[in-house]
Structure 1
Amino acid sequence: MSNNIQPRVLSEIETAEYIGMSRSFLRQSRMEGNRENRTPAPPFIKIGRSVRYLVEDLDSWLDSFYKQSHLMENV
């Protein structure tokens, strides 16, 4: 019997892979918070001393970025 349960929370390593960013980006953005001219940090939760990311929050965070259909539009 296979385990087809999708996790609701991801570790830092899993999150970095899921969003295509580095672990250092996640750490730095968590510690520095949202700064001007920087990509904002994805929301996270702390369970004890562990940092975790909710998949639903990561999906919303990714969806919040402007989607470009073509870089040379209106040139």
Structure 2
Amino acid sequence: MKNGALLILALKPSVDKAAMYIFERKARYYEKRHDRTADRLIVVSPMIEPKAMDIATALGIETYSDSLEVPT
């Protein structure tokens, strides 16, 4: 949490489309369990497959190749 905003972040060496769906399911589970909606879902990975990028866009997940690129 930062300034009252809930950020859910995954830091992975590589991401395929299955991993993107799994991250989204984990995030939704966290939201349901803690009765709180995440303000941002973020995946940081230097290797993200093109199909996973399409899925991330459709699910509203932000993707970055380096942790220094994530805007605060």
Query: TM-score, normalization: structure 1?
Result: 0.27
Structure number with the higher strand fraction is 2
Larger Rg: 1
Structure number with the higher helix fraction is 2
Higher relative contact order by CA 8 Å / sep ≥ 6: 1 or 2? 2
Query: TM-score, normalization: structure 2?
Result: 0.28
